[in-house]
Amino acid sequence: MIAQNAPLAFVKMHGAGNDFVIIDSRGQQPGGVMTAELARAIGDRNRGVGFDQLAELRDSGAADLDLDFWNADGSRAGACGNATRCVAARVMAERAVEKLRLQTARGILLAEKRGARIWVNMGQPVLDWHDIPLAHACDLDHLPLPGDPVAVGMGNPHCIHFGPDAEAAPVAERGPQVEHDPLFPQATNVEFASLLAPDHLRLRVWERGTGITLACGSGACATAVAAHRRGITGRRVVIEADGGQLDVDWRADGVWLTGPVAHVFDGVFAADFLAGAR
């Protein structure tokens, strides 16, 4: 909970158009300051700041920092690859280091700076129906849903559709329908992908709790895994999202993700805004 009239600073960043508000709660109360009500207020693009996800940094006893994720509707996200890269870029610059360990609901994720790029190991894909989770056992590579999609877990559930032209995919129509399909008891992210060239995919995304986004890091990872399992691509894939290019490399130690990172602006929430968001 935020103390009365206490200022709350934030940073706005994006990775390939996937945009985030970052709150640094290190040095404050152990549980952080974020609540579902405050996340919804900040996520309102008309009355707040707006974001695809919010990331809150907290002190950690097991890693370099703890990292929590919130969706724009106030729900929690288990993973967010592009936000993790943005946070890693900022903290690496702050500490003058090239490696970080970040504790998330997904587990401890390793971030590395290689040249000008920040890579994050998003861990191994979840390929068990119970752990994704699904409502019942089924063939993950051919779900019993229209469009013959694939299910992959990357800290969040993902339902990936492959077709001839992702540009023509009915993302706004099918996205919310699949997000809340009974097969996904915790809802799901929904991806629509098509092959542009060998190991090169076009991707459009509907994120649970948010809607259409310009990119999705965990979604790019899940799509690359699904494409390889379907025999469409190899294990290293270029992903063309609406907001830019992401690169995914599924290695023996996990699924690595990289792409552009941008710092947009810093700000401080007004006391009146915070009071109304409690």
Annotated active-site positions, please? 80, 216
Per DSSP, the residues of 100-153 read: EEEEETTEEEEEEEETTEEEEE--PPB--TTTTT-SS---TTS-SSTT--EEEE
Q: Which amino acid is at 61?
A: G
Three-state DSSP class for residue 228: helix
Which residue has 């490399």 as its token pair? 249
Strand pairing of 254-258 and 117-121? antiparallel
Of 215, 208, 250, 219, the closest CA to residue 233 belongs to 250
Q: Which among 237, 227, 195, 192 is positioned nearest to 212, based on CA atoms?
A: 192
Q: Which two tokens stand for residue 277?
A: 């968001």
